[in-house]
Structure formats: structure tokens, C-alpha cells
Chain A
Amino acid sequence: MTIGVIDYGMGNIFSIVKKLQQFFVDTVVITRPAEMRMADKLVLPGVGHFGKAVAHLKTMGIYDDINDAALVKKKPVLGICLGMQLMAERGEEGNAEGFGWFSGTNVRFRVSNAARYKVPQIGWNQLSRCRDSRILAHVGDADEFYFLHAYHLDAAVHGHVICTTRYDYEFPSGIERDNIAGVQFHPEKSHRAGEKVLKNFIDF
């Protein structure tokens, strides 16, 4: 099995590739459409601007291939941080359309207590599980994950939301539907708790 990590110029992919390799998984860094078929599973990472991310994926010519891999070929896809946000319908930042695999829009944090809750959220936080999930198997309430984001998913329909996280208020921090999963936190930077999530994806 080979996991493809999509490198579309939004944040570094070094840590995620390194972490997957620690589990003796074959990895391929995908920068061109031709490389898509080498991957049995896909990781869509990313930190940064929603609108720019969509534009980059389209310019690279892999936007449609990712859609096809997820929806037609049913390859397992894991979105991390911005990668998760791209799976939703829209992003407020750059007012762009996402893949639309999940309902909802990504909005900027609207904190009521700006002195205490700085934006972006940078730090460690926990998950409140909403329902059973494969990507979060063996993850406990006490487990902490590393978050770094100014925007979050705002889902009107919570059917596919697997967990929420509280930062001033609760927001969806994980989504899952059939072969597709997304997490707002960074499993590759979250010590042993994060390794559980990556192992779950390897077993997906």
C-alpha cells in the first residue's frame, strides 16, 4: 500500500511524510496529476489561505483527480487542517468553493472574549466525540491534539461530524463519511495521540 501526500505549496509536508514513514508505509509526494495513480490512499494536508489552496490545486491540474479518487475510485482520503476545510462546500477566506464532500462553510473564529481567546487558535486541545468513527478509533477523551487555525468548519448539518472542540465555543474538529475523513488538528505533530489517528488511517 502506498499513501500519497499531496504537495500543493500550502505548508510543509515534511512532518507528515516523515511520520508515515516511521510506520513503514510507502509514501509518494504528489505534485503532478500523473503521480495520483501511484497512491492507494491520499493525505490532503495544508496550512494557509482557503482560496489560494483551491486555486493551487486547480492550477496543478489535480483538483478533478482528487475528486475522482475520493468519490468514484473511493480511495481513502485524510484531510488535515486546511485539507479538512477544503472538503466542505465553501471557505469564507477568499470566498471560494471547496470539494463539497461535506456540508458547511469554513468561517473565521468569532470569539466573544478576544483577550482570552486569541486567533489563530495555537495550542493543545481535546475532542468531544459525537459518534463512532474509524479515524478516531482508540482515541480517548483525555488525548490532546495540536491545533493551528484561524478558520473552522461551521456545519449546519452535523450528520458527518465525528467530534467537536471547544475554543470559546464548540466547533466541528473532525468529519468522516465512508472513505473520507478530515481532522482540524495536526496528528503528525501530536505525539502518541496523533500517531493513533495516523495508524487508523493506515488501517482504513
Chain B
Amino acid sequence: MFRPRVIPVLLLHEGHLVKSVGFKGYRYIGDPLNAVRIFNELEADELIFLDIDAARNRSVIAPDLVRSIGEEASMPFAVGGGISQLTQIAQLLSNGAERVIIGSAAAIRPAFIEEASSEFGSSTITVCIDVKKDFFGRERVWVQNGRTATGRNPVEFAELMEASGAGEIILQSIKRDGSMNGYDYDLIKKVASAVSIPVVALGGAGNMEHLKHAFANAYANAVAAGSMFVYCDTNRGVLINYPSKDEIRFEISA
């Protein structure tokens, strides 16, 4: 049976792993390669690495680090952070990344996704959409690690990204980041229903029920989480963990 992916999201800040709450308050978690080794042992479905400073600093996730991850990882992994040029994508893919994740550059210049997908194939291009409400309470797409508003509506933007050739969308709720009190199911369902490409839910997962609900009721094609897989409980003691296959064998019903 098809089983949706359950994906740990690991945030990189100056070469080490951190975890945020609401895109702020970074806490040191550990060494990225050590985390990869643990997730290998736990047979995690896939890993996502995001360099949270890159887009703002006009840099890109370090290709050397990606290569080291590629040498260790026995599962697929995707990387993102500051990617805005085709040459950067070529280098990251050849260093072992399965897919690249494009955030800010996609919202600022959507044609970049068209160029990237026609060069590297849709299945290697993932767009990350960070969503937060604006002053008027409207859900909008934000870029540069949640600091800059774009004015774009997330559903319309997701449709545009699909039309531009994106192979997958990561939909992240900024407000729920690190909260561990559940995904924004309404937002996920709205976006997942609007596009025919996979939508990965991110932001707010704290337990297995959250993952299951996002998949079963909000039509997420895969579920991703940060805090849940790096903290041992809601008291946030650092412990890298991952559920057993039996716990995540969510099946598609009807």
C-alpha cells in the first residue's frame, strides 16, 4: 500500500541544527550529520534541510554540507535556503539531494520555477510556501524567513506554482511553527484541493494524531515536522526520534 511520507525538517543555522518557534527563538539542537546517522538507523522516510539564514543573507545552503549529507543519508533528502539560480540547483542535485526547495525566489520571480523545472524536471523542484495572516487577517505568502510580505494569496500562488512546473509544494504555517498543537488543517485542505501535485504539510505537528489528521482529513500527501522529531516531549528535551512503520501506516480510504 502507498504510505505517505513522514518527514523530519531540520533547520540549519551557521552549520548546525536549530529549532524555532514561530520562525523565531532559535534553539541549538545538534550536529546535522549526526542527526542523519540517527535518522538512517530509524529508517526515516525522507529528510528536509532548510538553511534559514540563506535567503536573507543572499547566500545559498552550503553545497559542501549537502555533499556530506548525501554521503551519509540512506533515504531521499531535499534541501533549501536561498536557491535562486540554475547553477546552484545543478550543484546541489549533483551533491546528492533528491530535490531542491525554492521559497523566496519562487514568490519574487515565479518564472524561475518554470526555468528550473524545464531544466531539471518537475520531480526535482519543490516550492515552499510560508503562510501567515496579514494585518487584515488575510492569509498571505511571506518570504525571507517570514520577514517580508508578498501580498500573494496562498491558494492562487500554489496554482501558479503547479502551472509553472513545480513537482511538489511544502505548505508551512508560520504561526504554528514550533507550537506542536496541530497543523493548520483548513489551509492545507484548501491548497491540497486546488492542485494535483503533492502538498506536504508543515508547521504545528506535535503528535501522531496531527500527522494522521493532515493526511486523512486535510488531503496532505506527506506530513513534515520539526519539533516532534527533535524533542522527546512537549517539555522540549532534545532527543531525535521517529515513529515506527506501524505507527505511520496511514492508508488512503475512499
Residues of A within 8 A of B (CB): 10-12, 14-15, 18-19, 47-49, 114-126, 144, 146, 148-150, 166-167, 186, 189-192
Q: Give the contacting residue for B221; candidates A14, A15, A118, A166; CB below 8 A.
A: A118
A47 touches B123 (CB 8 A): yes
B245 at the A interface (CB under 8 A): yes
A to B CB contacts below 8 Å, 17 in the list: A11-B121, A47-B124, A49-B121, A116-B252, A117-B252, A120-B122, A120-B123, A120-B168, A122-B168, A123-B45, A125-B2, A146-B76, A148-B98, A148-B123, A149-B123, A150-B123, A186-B76
Select from chain A the residue with minimum beta-carbon distance to B192: A115
Could you tell me the distance between the alpha carbons of A18 and B95 in the complex, rounded to whole angstroms?
Answer: 11
| Chain B hits for A114, CB < 8 A | 196
List 15 extra interface pairs beyond A11-B93, A48-B121, A148-B76, CB under 8 A. Answer: A12-B93, A14-B96, A15-B98, A19-B74, A48-B120, A114-B196, A120-B122, A121-B2, A122-B5, A124-B2, A125-B2, A144-B245, A146-B45, A166-B2, A186-B76
Partner of A120, one of B1, B3, B167: B167
Q: Are A125 and B3 in contact (CB under 8 A)?
A: yes
Q: B42 CB to closest chain A CB, in angstroms?
A: 10
Q: Which residues of B contact A191 (CB under 8 A)?
A: 40, 43, 74-75
The docked-state distance in angstroms from the alpha carbon of A167 to that of B221 is 13
> A189 touching B2 by the CB < 8 A rule?
no
What is the CA–CA distance of A186 and B98 in the complex, to the nearest angstrom?
A: 11
Interface of chain B, helix or strand or loop or mixed?
Answer: loop
- Give chain B interface residues in 177-199, CB to chain A under 8 Å: 192-193, 196-199
Residue of B nearest to A115 (CB): B219
A114 to B194, CA, bound (A): 10
**The residue from B40, B45, B98, B254 contacting A124, defined by CB atoms under 8 A apart:** B45
A47 to B99, CA, bound (A): 11
4 tightest A-B CB contacts, nearest first: A48-B121, A14-B96, A118-B198, A189-B76
Question: How long is the Cα–Cα vector from A119 to B199 in the complex, in angstroms?
Answer: 11
Q: Which of B73, B74, B252 has the most CB of A within 10 A?
A: B74
Give bound CA distance, A119 to B2, whole Å: 13
